[in-house]
Amino acid sequence: MSYRQTPTIVVLQEGTDTSQGRGQIISNINACLAIQDTLKSTLGPFGSDLLMVGSDGKTTITNDGATILKKLDVVHPAAKILVDISRSQDCEIGDGTTSVCLLASEILKNCKPFIEEGMSSHSIIKGLRESCNYVIEKIKDLEINLDEKPLDEEYDMLIKCALTAMNSKIIQQNGKFYSKLVVDSVLTLDRDDLDENLIGIKKIPGGAMEDSLFIKGVGFKKTFSYAGFEQQPKKFINPKILSLNVELELKAEKDNAEVRIEKVEDYQKIVDAEWGIIMDKLNKIIETGCNIVLSKLPIGDLATQFFADRGIFCAGRVSNDDLERTNKAVGGSILTSVNDINKEIELGTCEKFEELQIGSERFNIFSGCPLTKTCTLILRGGSIKIIDEIERSLHDAIMIVKRALKNKQIVSGGGAIEMELSKNLRDYSHSIKGKRQLIIQSFAKSLEIIPRQLCENAGLDSIELLNKLRNLHANNEINFGLDLDNDNVSNNFEKFIWEPSVVKINALQSATEAAILVLSVDETIQNKENDAQGGAPRGRGMPMPAGM
């Protein structure tokens, strides 16, 4: 019998990095634990802020988990999974971005010994799924439904949820002031939609934090203006508002076209024609009886002076977002032509318009809008970095209040729900035999990372306080959690430390899925860039079976 030489098939490019097996899973877990070490000090009311400097030299000071992970240049493929779940938590819920990463990392940390001992990752995954399903059902049993409450009680409930969301933020000392701003903002939105993008946030450095303003309507910064603007009136009661996407400006001919003429009179005809076009537009605007003209496009010096002479206020180059929000508040339409304007339908109105000086900026304020489905928050602070962090903090609180309005179920915060779930899961594990019992117990232990880290960030003895909580929860004190103000434990439901249950459910589901994804990957193939010289890439060879 003769054997031919086995040829080689190029499968992977030369230089391709491949890692596989148990060591690869442990390496991925270690990468996630490195992310946990970065984030854990930012959790809770006494969490620290991180100062990050980007490649462009810009600095960001924040303790928001999603923002930190967004700014970090994470290159490890497994660690990027944590970045993804923090972003999904931020988009879906708005808060709990740090908690979800800590939970996922802690689940992996407690599963690491099982991997090292040779337990199949699929057995671990089954146990984690079972644990997650059990705690989600338990949360639904423990949550308290605040539906069918009178309006004043609902308002108080939303204030408490907003305060809890702000406890870990830079604005916690001004929590009562900002929680009222947040709740008032969300309640102005359409209950069926609750689109948080209709809450305009404007930032003006200077002044104290509590100089921030809530405007039930629209406010935007004074736009670029031409000569004649200061002669226009700056205050109206019940004005008629015309919104345009039309340019009201004379253009220099050299910018638009080349015209060959033989006589001076021909040039004068061109100028007269252009003058006639813009004057026709302006006169048609005057005929509508409007008091305020807003446009996305420029309103030039001729139109500005024309409106000033007739007691009309105008603003050109209004940003698209501001004009859209104004239109939704005052009514009317954004028109692309001034011909055949229907005064009854296409003009908006409000109770009051005025231009105000706020700090170093001038703002155009529309208040008392009949169709108010939008509002504006004008934030003040010592520096733009502080205001940026206030904005991130308010975003979390706005999203929490929005979720609380949609989902009236709440649970006790401050680690209370995590300790109760941990206790129930441990009790459940006693009815399970075999390896799954160990996995379920490790999941129960992982849930304690939240109260433990809250204690450590506050400089308290986590062993003592967690033992107190375990004892209380063993005696069915289900609402007891950490009271960091008094360095002790307390009934957090009675102290109004509340969180929407949907925040916890989403965090637990996302963290478990992330941990399962990391555990299910036991090989990484990382391709290098192709050879810059081109041509067929050289590769790693695999022998072809004889006879092929």
Task: Determine contact, residues 448/424, Cβ cutoff 8 Å.
Answer: no
* Catalytic residue (choose from 98, 223, 304, 372): 98
The rounded Cα 10 to chain-centroid distance in angstroms is 46
What are the φ/ψ torsions at residue 379 (nearest 5 degrees)? -95, 135
Strand partners, 13: 539
CB-based contact 526:80 (threshold 8 Å) = no
Residue type, 261: I
User: CB within 8 A of 45, min separation 6: which ones?
Assistant: 167, 168, 172, 454, 458, 484
Pure H helices in 331-383: 343-346
Q: Can 97 be counted among the known catalytic residues? A: yes
Is there a catalytic annotation at residue 64? Answer: yes
Q: Which of 309, 317, 345, 313 is nearest to 330 (CA)?
A: 345
- Tracing tokens 């649970």 back to the chain, one arrives at 411
Per the listing, tokens 């923002």 go with: 67
Sequence-distant (≥ 6) Cβ neighbours of residue 28 within 8 angstroms = 76, 78, 518, 521, 524
In b/e form, how buried is each residue of 438-475, taking b as 16+ CB within 10 angstroms? bbbbbbbbbbbbbbbbbbbbbebebeebbeebeebbee
**Is 98 part of the annotated catalytic residue set?**
yes
Q: Which residues have C-beta within 8 Å of that of residue 315, sequence separation ≥ 6?
A: 222, 223, 225, 292, 293, 294, 295, 299, 364
| 27, 19 contact by CB (below 8 A) | yes
Q: Which strand (E) or helix (H) includes residue 107?
A: helix 97-116
Active-site hit among 90, 95, 322, 396 = 396
Residue with tokens 């401050």: 414
Long-range contacts from 342-347, C-beta under 8 angstroms, 24+ separation: 343/240, 343/288, 343/289, 346/242, 347/240, 347/241, 347/242, 347/288, 347/289, 347/290
Residue from 67, 97, 223, 326 carrying the catalytic annotation: 97
Name the active-site residue from 64, 90, 95, 322.
Answer: 64
DSSP string, 170-237: TTGGGHHHHHHHHHHHHHTS-TTT--GGGEEEEEEEBS-GGG-EEESEEEEE-----TTGGGS--EEE
Element (H, E) at 53: strand 50-53
The answer to whether residue 396 is catalytic is yes
> Which residues are catalytic, by number?
64, 97-98, 396
